[in-house]
Amino acid sequence: MMKRHYFLKITVSLLVLSLPLVAAAEDFDGAKTLVCAAVLSAECSAGETECFIGAPWMINLPVFMKVDFNAKQVTTTKLNETTRTSAIRHVDQLAEGGTAIHGSEANFVWSMLVAHGTGNMTLSITGEGIGYIAFGACQPGK
């Protein structure tokens, strides 16, 4: 458990250091397409006492995602083994400076939060008796 904690700290620190020092809030407010990268994820199941923590690809989550607000969809990039697309059902601008993006696919619902000041991203996906969470960052994309 302690190793996981250090892995999380190191991963998040490297991610933060790789981001531009100053990010414009308008880059993350839903006006521009974003490319997001997940770097750490967790999978938790009902009835289990511990969650699996590791790289997103280890639990079949995409590493890179394109968030296209104009097309209202999130799509995995060409770097993933299979292309997945999910419709954006709702976008909220939060008072404290974040964009919340929501959708659903099959028997799952998902939400993504992108912080305006940093581009940091948190993605949660929930289904009956199971939940996934991924942490990463987004940047303006094409």
Residue 89: count other Cβ atoms within 10 Å of its Cβ.
Answer: 13
Q: Which residue has the higher pLDDT, 82 or 25?
A: 82
Say yes or no to pLDDT of 75 above 90: yes
* Residues sharing a CB contact under 8 Å with residue 37, sequence separation 6 or more, in sequence order: 63, 64, 65, 136, 137, 138
* Residues 63/57, Cβ–Cβ less than 8 Å: yes
Model confidence over 26-46: pLDDT tens digits? 566 667 899 999 999 999 999
* CA distance to 28, 31, 111, 113, 119, per residue, from 51 (Å): 30, 35, 19, 21, 26
| pLDDT value of position 110 | 97
CA-CA distance, 86 to 76, in Å (whole number)? 9
| pLDDT value of position 28 | 64
Residue 62: CATH number of its domain: 2.40.160
Count of domains in the chain?
Answer: 1
**Span 72-101, mean pLDDT?**
88
**Span 47-54, mean pLDDT?**
93
Structural domain harbouring 86: 2-140
pTM flag (> 0.75): yes
